[in-house]
Amino acid sequence: MSRPELPTEVDLLVVGSGPVGSAIARRVHEAVPSARILMADLGPRLTGEAGLHLSNLPAQERGELQAKSQGRDPRTAPGEDQALVKKYADRGTHLVAPRHEEQPEQEGMPAAVMSSNVGGMGVHWACTAPRPLDSERVPFLPEEELDAALGVAEDLLSVTQDAFEDTAGGQLVLKTLSELFDGDYPDGRHVQPMPLACTPRSGALPRWAGPDVVLGPLAHGGDGRFGIMADTICRRVLFEDGRAVGAVLQHLPSGTEFKVRARAVAVAADALRTPQLLWASGIRPHALGRYLNDQPKTVSSVQVKDGPAAGIEARGSVDFTGDIRDLETGRFWVPFADPGRTSHGQVMTLDTSPIDGVDPELFVGMVWYGAKEIQASDRVEFSTTEADAYGMPKMTIHYSLTERDREGIARARADQEKIAARLGDFLPGNEPELFPAGSSKHYQGTVRMGAADDGTSVCDSFSRVWGFENLYVGGNGVIPTSTAVNPTLTSVALAVRAAESISALLARENC
């Protein structure tokens, strides 16, 4: 296969096409309309509208496209065992390394996954988008600046707390959660509907926000000054004298390598592939890949005893294929608080009434994410001799729980047991369970932001790599704090700040 025509020189090269890379591209495009922007992603383009969330598609079409996101190595793709799919690689993702039966679930992050497609994990994500709270916030960013960036991020992602219509089942669950947990919070904070990235639709599931929503008009091609190259991997960033000058790209179907020169480069390839690319490029600050931060994930499900069905019969029947989001009628937020609550809880109400031949019942799915104790020893190691399925340095993850982490996990389990005692009974086999490390998909810290170039961070407060004028990083890996909250909104907010810096740089150079 011949490679498509590509520009040999651009103003901004963005590596990665998820919500963060999309935010950088759109904000720079709006601030500097003359800028030529190229976005490269190693995976295929799944839909005509770049980055469309696959949950907006019918189940059969969704499944076919998820399979195209699952990488090159069949040993790392989801298998047919639904229990393992639930705990390890979901549909649309693939494991970093093949799973081994003997590997401990909490050592080395055996459930670490990636998605290989235009839009990245952003076409598969759960769209949960609350703001960081208390110690989750980046302490060296001025509060008003971070709040402003979070507001822009909420607009880019179309965040709302009105995703679902009120139901009797939802009201019961919200009332129960409030009675159990509102007393744990400072004044003004309480259990509430979850902020979600979506557009509500009456009588139907919301339209979920993928990177297409973040890109806006660029998702359809823009005005000719923006382009997305699918199936195109960035092999290395080129640099001279503290300045990125471009990159070596390879069109995977044809195998052709070529160079693109750029005035600025933003690498937003996910929290594992971003440090991998920097390492492959010879950019190896001490903190690169270190301080890897996952969120211990505790999961359970409850059948609500004598509870009202959620009342979604108006949606009509569904071809249920096991994706519980097709049955979702509400999602509620049990927020993090420091001190007091070291977990962030999300509670989904699920109604079986749209499934033909199944009696209407109300279920509650609970997921608690814990704020992990950050350690430099939790890290991604990159091989100098072995390659992964894409020919990039093979990754080995070193990761373990601390005693403080285990105490937080015990509190998460206790929270879910309290909820079950009030609402009904755990479904058999769905009692609170700590899922394998990596199952959160919320990996952070590997290219972390810092207040000073002291060896404990990779980039400054605008996501610019220390020692470079024009090389930026983006994604969950930039977040330097211990968090329990879903990180996407925070990462997009930090990308908004990066885009401001890139735009100012390009404007100074008379782009």
Domain boundaries, the chain: 1-94+110-158+212-287+486-511
Any idea what DSSP says for residue 293?
B
Residue 385, pLDDT above cutoff 60: yes
Select from 371, 317, 331 the least CA-distant residue to 485: 371
pLDDT value at position 356? 52
Whether the Cβ atoms of residue 15 and residue 234 lie closer than 8 Å to each other: yes
- Give the mean pLDDT of 442-467: 99
Q: Which pLDDT band, with edges at 50, 70 and 90, does 70 fall under?
A: very high
pLDDT value at position 319? 55
- Report the C-alpha gap between 436 and 429 in whole angstroms: 16
Select from 241, 16, 167, 147 the least CA-distant residue to 493: 147
What tens digit of pLDDT does each residue of 102-129 get? 889 999 999 999 999 999 999 999 999 9
- Report the C-alpha gap between 492 and 22 in whole angstroms: 9
CATH number belonging to domain 1-94+110-158+212-287+486-511: 3.50.50.60
In sequence order, which residues have a C-beta less than 8 Å from that of residue 101 and are 6 or more positions away?
A: none
442 part of the active site:
yes
- Report the C-alpha gap between 342 and 413 in whole angstroms: 12
pLDDT value at position 314? 46
Select from 330, 337, 343, 332 the least CA-distant residue to 188: 337
pLDDT value at position 320? 54
Lowest pLDDT segment from 78-92, 164-178, 391-405 = 78-92
- Report the C-alpha gap between 473 and 270 in whole angstroms: 10
What tens digit of pLDDT does each residue of 204-218 get? 899 999 999 999 999
- Give the mean pLDDT of 304-320: 59
Number of other CB atoms surrounding residue 428 within 10 Å: 8
What tens digit of pLDDT does each residue of 138-195 get? 999 999 999 999 999 999 999 999 999 999 899 999 999 999 999 999 888 999 999 9
Handedness of CA 374, 377, 382, 388 (dihedral sign): negative
What tens digit of pLDDT does each residue of 226-266 get? 999 999 999 999 999 999 999 999 999 999 999 999 999 99
Q: Which pLDDT band, with edges at 50, 70 and 90, does 353 fall under?
A: low
- Give the mean pLDDT of 386-413: 98
Q: In what order do the strands lie in the sheet with 159-160?
A: 159-160, 196-199, 207-208
Helix (H) or strand (E) holding 37: strand 37-40
Residue 493, pLDDT above cutoff 70: yes
pLDDT value at position 315? 47
- Report the C-alpha gap between 77 and 407 in whole angstroms: 33
- Give the mean pLDDT of 8-34: 98
Whether the Cβ atoms of residue 447 and residue 478 lie closer than 8 Å to each other: yes
pLDDT value at position 307? 67
pLDDT value at position 309? 60
Percent of the chain scoring above 90 in pLDDT: 83
pLDDT value at position 83? 67
pLDDT value at position 50? 97
What tens digit of pLDDT does each residue of 261-307 get? 999 999 999 999 999 999 999 999 999 999 999 999 999 999 998 76
- Report the C-alpha gap between 471 and 323 in whole angstroms: 39
